[in-house]
A and B are shown apart, each in its own frame.
Chain A
Amino acid sequence: MGERPSKTEQGKKSAEKKSVATRDAYGEALLELGKMRRDIVVLDADLSGSTKTGKFGKAFPERFYNLGVSEQDMIGAASGLSLTGKLPFASTFAIFETGRAWEQIRQTVCYSNLNVKLVATHSGITVGEDGASHQAIEDVALMRVLPNMTVIVPSDANETRQVIHAIADYYGPVYVRLGRAKVPPVTPDDYQFKIGRAYTFHTGKDVNIVAMGIMVSIALEAAEILKNEGIDAGVINMSTVKPLDTETLLNASKACRLIVTAEEHSTIGGLGSAVSEFISEHRPTKIIRIGIRDDFGCSGTSEELLRLYGLTADNIVKTVKEALK
């Protein structure tokens, strides 16, 4: 999405730090892990330049497997490697990883609870010009429904690096959703990622915005605008979508009148659904889901597409103000 200038306090502070795509942070983290651990193996399906696994492949060719254009076979091979005690990271674009190979992930990785890490890049509409065929807006839903699966959507490069290290130390299937576009840093300097724990920037008395991935920085912008208009808006980075941090959610729902979820994903089955499922059962609170409404993406620049689908600070502000009227 290019270098989106941040208008928030948080953003100004972090503007000194560079915007970095989460996929780039993944490539670096894999290199670090590869040096630390002999059991790490990496698989890709002919997209190692784009997913950034190619860096690992150059450094450790004997532990890197390019499977060619065959995602289903890649998941099977990753499963087999895990059965010999290796720790496989299998990467391709999110739509092919979770869509094309969904049944392989279900039948082998999840059913047998294998230690396979699925790290997909090019999620969401910010893939941009390639258009709908390459824009995964269903992947979180597809992975979240699977027993044994953990689903993580990092918000920036710092968090991505920590996520990759954290999942290497965790046994079990994990899906990590990364993006193509550069994202501004949002996590604070002392941030420490933990699987299943959300990060609350601020708990709002009027509204709390629960966001994942690139929508965290956009939610922070929206909260800043709302604050200037006298509305106390909180922001929660729900980077682990499964298992959901229900304690944080419950506290947020107790503090406010309205919850807004924000995701670069379909409003069906993703973060908005996960939050709605929990809140409606435990503390019914009004929830508005911002995301892609039962639609496909299309070609355009990342910025244009975010505007087209209403994934902007302005749209979050407008939605909140209307709901709180």
Chain B
Amino acid sequence: MRPEVNESDINFLKEKAKILRIEILKMLTEAGSGHTGGSLSAADILTALYFYKMRHNPKDPVWRERDRFILSKGHAAPVLYAALALSGYFDKPLLKTLRKLGSPLQGHPCSKLLPGVEISTGSLGQGLSIANGIAMGLKLDGLLSRVYCLLGDGEIQEGQVWEAAMTAAHYKLDNLCAIIDNNGLQIDGHCCDVMYIEPIVKKWEAFGWHVIDINGHEMKAIVNALNEAETIKEKPTMIVARTIKGKGVSFFEGKVEYHGMAPTHEELEKALEELER
């Protein structure tokens, strides 16, 4: 467990998150397609996981005692790839091959092709069940490793998520911490217009989870929530991270059309200016 974070740690993480966003935008522009909005909204969360909270070893991606991360919202692959590259799982130039023929950086994460990806995802609603299974296995082995799982808010419309929610509470998987990237938008519009998902916090509480409601772009809040989750016993933890789709680039923020659209070269230039300002 890490001690209380200080201001310089937070500043370091904020800077990392900025670099993550830059890499996300560059690789998406190069690919010409992909999911911009939901990658940017999750950038701070993945930064806190990969550069603060998780015990992992890029030199040994299958280290038995590592913490696990499952990207249940697999379409946010660019944010995962950026985190893996910046952690040292592979060389940064590989990011330019995103979505290209022969690349290990598939449109959605593929564990057979890319070390560091725990399991292939992309079809929504399935990651939490897998995270549960990993958490069960780690407990059987008496390992202290923890499992993190990132879901989209639109994703929780999938029924399997709630099957998994019951399972995690039933089996008291306190080594599991899930996070919802609650950016409020899905492909067809606002989540609550497409299919009403609120009250998210009450739902997870009712399912027997410890719930922490935070601003998903406030680094200190993310870090504190991840630390709090580790202290909770007999219950899984859900961090409801209130985020903004497209966060970090003013003209992408809150725009539903950038769910599944890559930046143009012009947009990239403007975006990089904003981020590096």
- B-side residues, CB < 8 A to A, are 68, 110-112, 118-123, 126-138, 140-141, 159-160, 163-164, 166-167, 170-171
Contacts and interface: CB of A to CB of B under 8 A. Distances in A.
A255 interface: no
8 contacts: A70-B166, A72-B159, A73-B166, A76-B128, A80-B129, A80-B134, A104-B129, A107-B126
Nearest to A113: B112
A86 B140 contact: yes
Given A76-B132, A77-B129, A107-B120, A83 B137 contact: yes
Contacts of A80: 119, 129-137
Nearest to A107: B123
B172 to A, nearest CB: 13
B140 A83 contact: no
A84 B68 CA distance: 10
A73 to B, nearest CB: 4
Contacts of B133: 76-84, 88
Contacts, number: 108
Which of A67, A85, A86, A103 neighbours the largest number of chain B CB atoms within 10 Å of its CB?
A67
A229 interface: no
Given A76-B126, A81-B136, A111-B120, A70 B131 contact: no
A303 to B, nearest CB: 37
Nearest to B123: A107
A262 interface: no
Nearest to B166: A68
A170 B167 CA distance: 29
Given A65-B136, A108-B119, A83 B130 contact: yes
B134 A84 contact: yes
A280 interface: no
Contacts of B134: 80-81, 83-84
A75 B110 CA distance: 18
- By secondary structure, the B interface counts as helix
Nearest to B170: A68
B227 to A, nearest CB: 24
A77 B126 contact: no
B163 A70 contact: yes
Interface of A: 41, 62-63, 65, 67-68, 70, 72-86, 88, 103-104, 107-108, 111-113
B160 A85 contact: no
A258 B173 CA distance: 58
B119 A70 contact: no
A65 to B, nearest CB: 7
A70 B168 CA distance: 13
A88 to B, nearest CB: 8
A9 to B, nearest CB: 49
Contacts of B127: 76
Which of B112, B123, B163, B166 neighbours the largest number of chain A CB atoms within 10 Å of its CB?
B163
B171 A84 contact: no
B118 A83 contact: yes
Contacts of A75: 129
A80 B110 CA distance: 15
A74 B164 CA distance: 9
Nearest to B134: A80
A79 B119 contact: yes
Nearest to B138: A84
Nearest to A77: B133
Contacts of B126: 72, 76, 104, 107-108
Nearest to A82: B133
Given A83-B133, A85-B137, A113-B112, A77 B119 contact: no
Contacts of A113: 112
Nearest to B160: A72
